Structure 1
């Protein structure tokens, strides 16, 4: 059996944090930088034959506001903290008429490019950046969201099979709804306690965030790669654990930036030697600041994968391809 290197990226633009990120000029430039990076990322993945799951917010899949209104479900989340609702944001703050006018909330042209590239999977990050562990929402509302993103994805000729829960709010009780709506594999969280997501989107402790940050550079958490038997199936859905978040470059961290890359490379090597899985993830917008430094770090990781592929026959598969592998019994 080959070791497996997989990448999933959470493609959100402003939908990933509309409740906490005012769209000022600095933030607009941040997301414009992100958009410019997408083709560069696709070129890098193609160059290194790395297959990636693009977990995409369904609202980004539209060409214009009329399409958003047409595809938005009538049953919408009733969060106790109403500011978490993308629909409330649209109603109170508003979005533009189309991608040209509003490149922060529409990304049809980028998604059309993603689905054309070899090995790149269009996956679900829910339709409206749905929070599955927030007080007030329920499975009926999540079901409506799940149906809405499949409808949006059909524009690209796709039936989505893979899902990443927004803000990593993994909820095992919702797996049955996932299966009913065509999702057969989801990214689950690492086992370390600081990845528990029951606090909610706006209530997470600083202590958790601090430990997550420290673990990117030092041996704080547990082993990150895992054997195939560690990938469980629940309610007919495979749970593919995340291994490591690729944190963005920080000019204040100096030596730590390289330590972070070296740590990922070492973990990848352990996975390759032991014929295990290694699952790296991040958000494309994490590269919106210091873009070239972030790309340089990613190139180091992808070059390391190419070496492991040659030396240990490590294989790159996206989440959907891992699902196919399981279905084929290999």
Structure 2
């Protein structure tokens, strides 16, 4: 390919993504801001003709607890750590606030915005590397995700593994359900796919530092390197770490870390793949949107200078096949 590519994927989870690690009270502010952050992102994307892939937990498609339980697969993951499974919580939580768990209207808004792909983040925010779960349970989960998306007229073509726990043993299951693209992890030990226990403090601190100072490289790649058997792996290049008031004095470094990689990708005809969660913009929303605008301004400059293009994950798969 004789042009660079800017790819965005967004992991849309609501409380399902953090339920086993954060109390709702501790995370409420982040979730309260999602309903304002997503329309602002979509407005930016439409204004600048940015294509993005929204990997959405299947439960979010549902309107309430009853609909979620009706759509859930009968075969459920038998995690050794039972706290990881959302179904007991879904069934027994006395005060399940729908605002933090279900948002079919936001899914509809994303799907209706030009250039936006609604993709899968599995049905239940399924953890593919945790002890006790199986390929059979994953297959049932993904089938449920495909079914619930179809109720809104959406065909799933791409997937992001929750917690980036991509599992090579499960890739054939993706193909069985029509998934042709997934987001793999950045290269290197800092970003290796592991279970929860494997994500130790050294890795977390290393990734934090790598957001500001180049410790691990640009993590860009050619589309030709992605050619192979389906599903195709389009690895992440960088997590768009949210604004932190305590680290505001480092914002220039954070932006430079991203824009240097974008320029490298553009001039070497490679892919730069940026990702984040909507809840990352749920607090300090103005600062996070302003930062995203600066990233998009860099893309606009590279589009003018080098012809860099914006493609979602399914479009990347189409470009490889072309």
Distance 1:204 1:245 in 2: 16
Aligned mates of 1:137, 1:104 — CA distance in 2: 26
2:212 to 210, 217, 226: 217
Give the length in aligned residue pairs.
321
Q: CA RMSD in A?
A: 1.3
- Is 1:201 the counterpart of 2:196 in the alignment? yes
Q: Give the C-alpha shift of residue 222 in structure 1.
A: 2.7
Contact 1:18 1:89 in 2 (8 A): no
Give how far 1:147 is off: 0.2
Distance 1:171 1:193 in 2: 16
Task: List aligned pairs for 1:147-166, cutoff 5 A.
Answer: 147-166=143-162
Among 308, 313, 322, the alignment partner of 1:319 is 313
Q: Is the 8 A contact 1:95 1:102 kept in 2?
A: no
List 4+ stretches of structure 1 deviating above 6 A.
none
- Deviation of the 1:261 alpha carbon: 1.1
121-130 or 281-290, which moves further after superposition?
Answer: 281-290
> What secondary structure sits across from 1:158 in the alignment?
coil
Q: 1:264-319, CA deviations, whole angstroms, 9 ceiling, x for partnerless residues?
A: 01110111111111000011101112111111110000111111101100000000
Q: 3-state SS of the aligned residue for 1:9?
A: strand
Shift of 1:54: 0.1
Match of 1:29?
29
Deviations 1:170-226 (CA, angstroms, capped at 9, x unpaired): 10110001100111100000112111122x125521001011111111121133211
Deviations 1:144-185 (A, max 9, x none): 001000001012211101000000001011000110011110
1:310 aligns with 2:304: yes
TM-score w.r.t. structure 2 length? 0.97
The equivalent residue for 1:247 is 241
Partner residue in 2 for 1:180: 176
The CA distance in 2 between the partners of 1:71 and 1:202, in whole Å, is: 30
Post-superposition offset of 1:258: 2.1
2:90 aligned partner: 90
Deviations 1:226-263 (A, max 9, x none): 112221434x2101111000001111113212210121
SS at match of 2:196: coil
TM-score normalised according to structure 1 size:
0.94
Which residue of 1 is the match for residue 14 of structure 2?
Answer: 13
1:71 — aligned with what? Answer: 71
Number of the residue aligned with 1:298:
292
Matches of 2:107 and 2:248, distance apart in 1? 34
Change in 2 beyond 3 A, CA 1:203/1:275: closer
